[in-house]
Amino acid sequence: MFSGFLESYGGFILDGALMTVFLSVVSMVLALILGGVVTAARMSDNLLISGLTKLYIEVIRGLPMLVILSLFFYGLPMLGLNIPKSTLFGVDLDRLIAALTGLTVGESVFVAEIYRSGIQAVDSGQFEGARSIGFNKFQAYRYVIIPQAFKNILPTLGNEFSNNIKSSSQASVIGVADLMFTASTIQGISYKPFQAVIAVGFVYLVFTFSTTRIVAHYERKMNRSAEELTLRDKWDELVQTIKASWKSLLVTAAFIVMIIGTFAFNHRETNTAAGSIEKIQNSGQLGVATNIGYAPYEFYDLSSGHKKAVGVDLAFAKQLANKLQVKLVVKNMNFDSILGTITSGNADIAIAGMTKTKEREKSVDFTQNYVKQINKVVVRKDSAPQYTAIADLAQSSIAVQKSTTQEDVVKEDIKPKQIVALSSLPDAFLNLAQGKVDAVVADDTVADQYIASNSELTYADIDLPGTTETAMALTKGNQSLKAYVDKLIEQDKKDGSFDKWMKTYSALAQKNTGENE
């Protein structure tokens, strides 16, 4: 089950693992340094400095890491701190610096509190004794207090480093290609969400497990004087450490294998658990996988005073549920998770403006097409004159939504200097508005809404080759539901329902934009 998967995507996972190691190690080293400065300020005799530092610690400690990363990534340009456009390890420098800064700041307050607790745990008589023999305050801390405190805080620092490894996964949200970003990419390519998550989860486990074992080894080493150990003792201790580590690792690996085995045994049944008309009606609900946030297809209508999911796709989904006489259950998720949700049987149908491709048809069945789209290049108005042909985009950076046909168009037809693939299209347009990328490629119906809501954006005078038509995805082999949906799509195309919905929800999306400006 996993051999072919690792053979195909092992290179992706290795690249993501290296980026995760880089983020974790560099940010932790910086956090150790910054944490020391924060600790000194927190323990200062100056009440103003101490009070402001305490406020800083409470604020940072109270914010989720994802919020901190987003604040640095989107906030720095708004403060006029624009990082030069460049790349490091294949990642935009501004994204990498925002990730490192966010992780460093977020971890530094926890490190500072660990330092402070370790220092305060040392008997106060130690400090007084050092001062009495002529040490100044700095020397007392440097030669007496800190060495004893370090011995006490080493296990906690090791645990904090493990937490930092896991926290680094949040950097994927701002486009840093770490392990979680890699997992999302693999899911979008292979439509095998379980295998991707298990693979990167195992790598994370190896990283954190190795960290705790190394820290435990050095903790034991510090607790025993080196002079008391013979060469034989040192060898026996090393052997025991290895044995203990491998025992724990084998137990963990056995547990993972058990999960994989259970999944593989039940996978065939799971794939057929959802989908057929009879099963849908027996369950009393129609599960629809979609990605809300792409007006006019699916978006939240706020004009009524409360959040309500509406759009062309959801209007059809509601119609389908009514005809089947079941409840509509909308499952909102990232676009690159949708087909994995269908193949795993966790939704009956995917309705999310999806285009048929040969690769996707290996995993799911598609209905007939229901909407035709044209791919367009969106740029900022001030740079529009310089883009009049596809060749003009060769040295640009272009943002697209990950795992979409637009990403394929950019890779195959435009071939720009840099492609920034993000989990959501709103993030792509936000990157464009803030000048982090030069252009966004999206279908014209959705792009119209973003241009209507942002006067600084416009279409580039560039015609991309070909058009795309969207269809709905179902569990492979589900012929009864496919035939039923195809018939309903044909009916709605003939009576103009799709055109009517397109006009209605396009107008509603623009109305919402006007009310929220």
At residue 4 the predicted structure's pLDDT band, cuts being 50, 70 and 90, is: low
In this predicted structure, what is the pLDDT of residue 517? Answer: 47
The reported pLDDT for the residue numbered 269 is: 41
3-state secondary structure of 418: strand
Task: Give all strands (DSSP E) within 148-257, no chain letters.
Answer: none
% residues pLDDT > 90 (the chain): 30
- Domain tally, the chain: 3
Q: Interior CA angle at 256 toward 255 and 257, to 5°?
A: 90
What would the pLDDT profile of 173-216 be if each residue is shown by its tens digit?
777 878 887 777 666 555 565 677 788 888 888 888 888 888 77
User: Is 393 within a domain?
Assistant: yes
Q: Are 482 and 392 within one domain?
A: no
All residues at 6 or more sequence positions from 319 whose CB lies less than 8 Å from its CB, including other chains: 488, 492, 497
> Quick one: 297 and 398 in the same domain?
no
Give the type of residue at 301: D
Would you say residue 64 lies in a domain? Answer: yes
**Section 237-264 average pLDDT:** 59
> In this structure, is residue 39 part of a structural domain?
yes
Residues 221 and 283 in one domain: no
Please say whether the beta carbons of 467 and 372 come within 8 A: yes
Is residue 26 situated within a structural domain?
A: yes
Q: What's the pTM value of the predicted model, to 2 decimals?
A: 0.57
Question: Half-sphere exposure of residue 428, counting CA atoms within 13 Å on the CB side?
Answer: 28
One domain for residues 345 and 384: no
| 125 & 58 share domain | yes
Verify that 501 and 434 share a domain, yes or no: no
Residues 154, 35, single domain; the answer is yes
**Domain boundary residue, one of 228, 260, 290:** 228
Q: Comparing C-alpha atoms, which of 395, 381, 424 is closest to residue 85? A: 395
- 144/289 same-domain check: no
Q: Do 114 and 171 reside in the same domain of the chain?
A: yes
Instruction: Enter the tokens of residue 335.
Output: 């676009």
The model's confidence at residue 103, banded by pLDDT at 50, 70 and 90, is very high
Average of pLDDT values for 342-363?
Answer: 86
Q: Can you tell me whether residue 441 is helix, strand or coil?
A: strand
User: What integer is the mean pLDDT of 447-475?
Assistant: 87
Closest CA to 432 of 399, 409, 402: 399
CATH number of the structural domain spanning residue 91: 1.10.3720.10
Of the given ranges (50-59, 108-117, 136-145), which has the lowest mean pLDDT? 136-145
Flag whether 242 is in a domain: no
* Containing structural domain, residue 151: 1-228
Q: Quote the CA–CA distance of 38 and 56 in Å, as a whole number.
A: 9
pLDDT at 190: 56
- Domain assignment of residue 255, yes or no: no
- pLDDT of res. 48: 92
Beta strand 397-401 with 439-443 is parallel
Q: Which residues contact 353 (CB under 8 A, 6 or more apart)?
A: 294, 297, 298, 313, 371, 373, 443, 446, 470
Residue 493 confidence class, pLDDT cut points 50, 70, 90: very high
Q: What span, in angstroms and rounded, lies between the C-alpha atoms of 36 and 190? A: 45
Residue 489 lies in a domain: yes
pLDDT value, residue 308: 79
The reported pLDDT for the residue numbered 496 is 94
Q: What is the mean pLDDT of the chain?
A: 81
CATH for 402: 3.40.190.10
Contact between 319 and 342 under an 8 Å Cβ cutoff? The reply is: no
Q: Are residues 57 and 166 in the same domain?
A: yes
Residues 302 and 161 in one domain: no
Instruction: Give a yes or no: residue 251 inside a domain.
Output: no
Question: Rounded CA gap, 424 and 386, in Å?
Answer: 27
> What pLDDT digit, counting tens, does each position of 421-439 carry?
887 787 788 889 888 899 9
**Are 222 and 184 within one domain?**
yes
pLDDT value for 291: 83
